[in-house]
Structure 1
């Protein structure tokens, strides 16, 4: 019953996507009026609320595809082979005590027992909102979204600037160099493998490419989880974490195309990292703030002198005005912190000539 429900859910999702793509429509209300009654007749056994959730998912996919198309990026009609079923509070009921969930299917409600993984046990008992039923290799996973109240943690005056980069994943103003150097080498190996498989073009090579793509996505997700967790762990509860606003960096960057740096920039999942950092920080009562990243790498955090020649290399910053010398990423982290403090009307000159290259601490 779950398999058949998932197939009908996927067919509704694809039908709404096809209509929206053909008519250039991404508005959820207009898509609902244009497709709901026809799909309701075509799939009478599918719960009405579940069908609406399929339309909502299709609307989200269409918005993403049309946004890519507007930016002159590669985009095509969204389509799914097996779309995860989305449930809301009207179509499923979860019982934490007996670990059983009631799910709507094409044949009515069914009761399904579940197990909570150890890493998710801390969320048991919280109020549930939506859930997605994912089916993979004959196994069923219910991704439940829970509503967790904000922790009662007093605010702390500490402000930590975080410089994000391609060479050094993250450098904080409290002098922590986070991330691992082998991440970059893994990406290089995967890129060489993808290029080799693409040049072959055989069926087996394409199957291998699909597997490599999945591994790469999971690897990026794991790296973002590790990096965001380390940033939060190295900060005081209740403090403020300041990062750069990198929303339009791909379009505003002056890096030459068809280079390794350009390729890594376009594979940079900073939006995913930001979402991970926000919810991990919320658990410890922290606030995440974005600031304008312009000139943070060219400005001296000691005297405020700004010039592009201040940055001698990727890792070395040497101020032409006062001679202040330290790691370039650490200097940028200081500037990110100071920029936020300046917006609050607080002036802080961080660092001293002794905060040089020898201060790097690996994590």
Structure 2
């Protein structure tokens, strides 16, 4: 299992300027490679490297940073191609798709830059790093992190690290390769988790994690952004920059806390976790205009990802199930009908009369599908 550990580096003023210049130089090189790729149609890493390597060396990059700039460019075009093929920029001939296809990819001047072990070395005992820059090699730059982060870095760091400039500070995002623990057999069944907007997550045990606070923050930020964008002054633009990312960090922290509680409960009760497979829900669901912003800012994929990796670290089984009719089906008799949902929060079966909170009923259906899905997948593994 690969995890990313973030640590803050604390350069002095000359080193800070050298790191900033290095990011600018690497991203200028990436933009040059991007223009060549766009003009020639050469987007694969090796052919693109042959076409632009000499140019990047003349721009002041040494061998490894030049190669990484090319690889970053090739990766960006591969991602763009995948998004186009998936229709994420609209159908062929649409204005949005034409706009994306009609210009080369651009990298911000402070965009992250990867460094391998030839360009970046760690001294964990001294808590310092040595890193290549356009002004020469910088040594003994201190870094700081939590005890857990430092322990993971010392024991499991492997591969590249990204130099990131964010909020006026420099960070290193280091890849750690952790051995996968053995997944424990879910002897107690599965903890079903229904994801939603009113309640971010509701479990089959009846625990609900309300989304009211998160939605309130999002609505406040949206109103503030609208006012600042309308004003358009220099101070308004500065405040918009400061506001950028605050909502995303708040949502991520909320999802981290929920995911940790779900995994802890599943581990305590010797159960797995069953989640809805909600891929493509934004394309399938049709909502009234006031509800669209809420849906499109709903970070269910992030919560699912957090649950998956935390569960993997704890050896807890995770199953993704088909979400269709989980909110309309009765968890007692199995009867499915739209009439079973008289309102958003209520489930009342028109067949057997069973009544429950709608999200809890859906979570119980998800838990049952988790048991069935686990049995089917492991029966196939045993047969193989």
Residue 327 of structure 1: CA displacement? 0.9
CA–CA separation in structure 2 for the residues paired with 1:343 and 1:153:
16
Corresponding residue number in structure 2 for 1:49: 64
User: Are 2:268 and 1:246 aligned?
Assistant: no
2:319·2:374 contact (CA, 8 Å) conserved in 1? no
CA–CA separation in structure 2 for the residues paired with 1:23 and 1:166:
46
CA–CA separation in structure 2 for the residues paired with 1:217 and 1:5:
28
Aligned residue among 132, 146, 153 for 1:117: 146
Corresponding residue number in structure 2 for 1:189: 220
Aligned residue among 334, 340, 345 for 2:370: 340
Residue 269 of structure 1: CA displacement? 2.3
User: Are 2:283 and 1:266 aligned?
Assistant: no
Q: Structure 1's 326 and 92: CA in aligned 2 closer, same or farther, altered over 3 A?
A: same
C-alpha distance after superposition, 1:101-124 (max 9, x if no partner): 232233554322322334524424
Paired residue secondary structure (1:162): strand
C-alpha distance after superposition, 1:158-188 (max 9, x if no partner): 3111111111000112322124521111111
Residue 248 of structure 1: CA displacement? 0.6
CA–CA separation in structure 2 for the residues paired with 1:210 and 1:104:
29
Which structure is richer in relative contact order (CA contacts within 8 A, separation 6 or more)?
A: 2
CA–CA separation in structure 2 for the residues paired with 1:334 and 1:315:
15
Q: Which has more helix, going by share of residues?
A: 2
CA–CA separation in structure 1 for the residues paired with 2:350 and 2:48:
59
Question: Normalising by the residue count of structure 1, what TM-score does the alignment of the two structures yield?
Answer: 0.83
CA–CA separation in structure 2 for the residues paired with 1:203 and 1:107:
33
Residue 297 of structure 1: CA displacement? 1.1
Paired residue secondary structure (2:72): helix
What value does the CA root-mean-square deviation take over the aligned residues? 2.7
Corresponding residue number in structure 2 for 1:11: 28
CA–CA separation in structure 1 for the residues paired with 2:271 and 2:33:
45
User: Are 2:122 and 1:91 aligned?
Assistant: no
C-alpha distance after superposition, 1:44-67 (max 9, x if no partner): xx2322222223333343444455
CA–CA separation in structure 2 for the residues paired with 1:25 and 1:290:
38
CA–CA separation in structure 2 for the residues paired with 1:320 and 1:22:
63
* 1:247-326 to 2 correspondences below 5 Å: 247-256=279-288, 258-259=289-290, 261-326=291-356
Q: Structure 1's 36 and 239: CA in aligned 2 closer, same or farther, altered over 3 A?
A: farther
CA–CA separation in structure 1 for the residues paired with 2:265 and 2:354:
26
Q: Structure 1's 17 and 169: CA in aligned 2 closer, same or farther, altered over 3 A?
A: farther
Worse-matched range after superposition: 237-246 or 322-331: 237-246
Aligned residues: 342
Corresponding residue number in structure 2 for 1:356: none
Paired residue secondary structure (2:172): strand
User: Are 2:158 and 1:141 aligned?
Assistant: no
Q: Structure 1's 207 and 234: CA in aligned 2 closer, same or farther, altered over 3 A?
A: same
Paired residue secondary structure (1:332): helix
Residue 16 of structure 1: CA displacement? 3.1
Worse-matched range after superposition: 245-254 or 58-67: 58-67
Q: Structure 1's 167 and 25: CA in aligned 2 closer, same or farther, altered over 3 A?
A: farther
Q: Structure 1's 234 and 8: CA in aligned 2 closer, same or farther, altered over 3 A?
A: same
Q: Structure 1's 22 and 185: CA in aligned 2 closer, same or farther, altered over 3 A?
A: farther
CA–CA separation in structure 1 for the residues paired with 2:298 and 2:192:
20
Question: Normalising by the residue count of structure 2, what TM-score does the alignment of the two structures yield?
Answer: 0.79
Paired residue secondary structure (2:241): helix
2:186·2:317 contact (CA, 8 Å) conserved in 1? no
1:62·1:78 contact (CA, 8 Å) conserved in 2? no
Residue 328 of structure 1: CA displacement? 0.8
2:256·2:306 contact (CA, 8 Å) conserved in 1? yes
Corresponding residue number in structure 1 for 2:129: 101
